[in-house]
Amino acid sequence: MEATMTLIRRMSLTCEHACFQAGLGIGLIIVLSLPVGRALLESSLINHMLVQIPLLALAGWMIGKSMFASLFLESNRNGIPGLLIALFVMLFWMLPRWLDAALSEPLWEAIKFITIPLLIGLPLGISWPRMSSFSRAVVWTNSISMLVILGWLYVAAPLRVCNNYLVNQQEDFGYMAMALAVVIAAYWVGIAFFGKWDKPESSDVIR
């Protein structure tokens, strides 16, 4: 009896936590889609690409992690299929053409607000905890080189890639992307030299 009560209490606690996190994610999407939120975050390329889109993905991540953590346990066991979905959708939204479309056509704006949480954040939130340290490291290191190349392209591009943004914003975004890469790199260098290192988990080796 006592044990059952504890179990129920614990379950309701975890549900509360999960529901809270999912609610936070949904709330975030709503706030971001309000006219004020959109006007604020879509006025510049930096805010659009480095604040609004990541926040939308984060919202999806919170929903996925808290509500659907046990989804596709069999087919997405090591998290790689989920990661692939997220990567392709990320690439799609990095095409200047579709970012422009989202700004000039309400239909594409709606598609953006649906696909980024649902197809980038959600699969990542489900998959990240299942991924091995090795897969995670691949994602981190690739994100560094990708951000540098992306940033450099935006700084060096002789043409305006987005009709809806000024060229100087394009350059600003480029430098910001490179700065972000430096921050990520510095963070991992910091961990590598000063972090606490345990022996590799046996589960990682087997996986």
Partner 1 sequence: MRGAITIIALLLAGIGVLWAGTDGLQVLTAEGARRLATEEKPKPLPAVLLRDQRGEVFRLQDYEGRNLLVEFIYTRCATLCTSLGETFEQVAGKLPDGTLGRDVNMISISFDPRDNRADLKEYGERYDARPDHWRIARVENPEELRQLLDVFGITVIPDQWGNFEHNAAVHFVNRQGYLDRIVDHDPASTTLEVLWKRL
Report if residue 107 touches partner 1, rule: CB under 8 A: no
Comparison of 87 and 185: residue with beta carbon closer to partner 1: 87
Cα torsion 104, 108, 114, 118 to 10°: value is: -120
Report if residue 101 touches partner 1, rule: CB under 8 A: yes
- Mind spelling out the 3-state secondary structure of 58-112? HHHHHHHHHHCCCCCCCCCCCCHHHHHHHHHHHHHHHCHHHHHHHHHCHHHHHHH
Report if residue 206 touches partner 1, rule: CB under 8 A: no
Among 8, 19, 71, 84, binds partner 1 (CB under 8 A): 84
Whether 63 contacts 16, CB under 8 Å: no
The gap from C-alpha 1 to its chain's centroid, in whole angstroms, comes to 43
Among 8, 30, 166, 205, binds partner 1 (CB under 8 A): 166
Report if residue 73 touches partner 1, rule: CB under 8 A: no
Report if residue 149 touches partner 1, rule: CB under 8 A: no
Cα separation of 41 and 49, whole Å? 9
Comparison of 108 and 175: residue with beta carbon closer to partner 1: 108
Report if residue 163 touches partner 1, rule: CB under 8 A: yes
Cα torsion 150, 153, 155, 158 to 10°: value is: -150
Q: How far is the CB of 161 from partner 1 (least distance, A)?
A: 5
Site residues for partner 1, 5-64, by CB under 8 A, read none
Q: How far is the CB of 108 from partner 1 (least distance, A)?
A: 11
What contacts 28, CB < 8 A, 6 or more positions away?
Answer: 55, 56, 58, 59, 62
Comparison of 104 and 145: residue with beta carbon closer to partner 1: 104
Among 67, 59, 65, 179, CA closest to 115: 59
Stretch that binds partner 1, among 15-23, 52-60, 74-82, 127-135 (CB under 8 A): 74-82
Comparison of 88 and 187: residue with beta carbon closer to partner 1: 88
What contacts 5, CB < 8 A, 6 or more positions away?
Answer: none
Give me the residues that bind partner 1 (CB under 8 A), please. Answer: 75-78, 80-81, 84-85, 87-89, 91-92, 95-98, 100-101, 104, 159-167
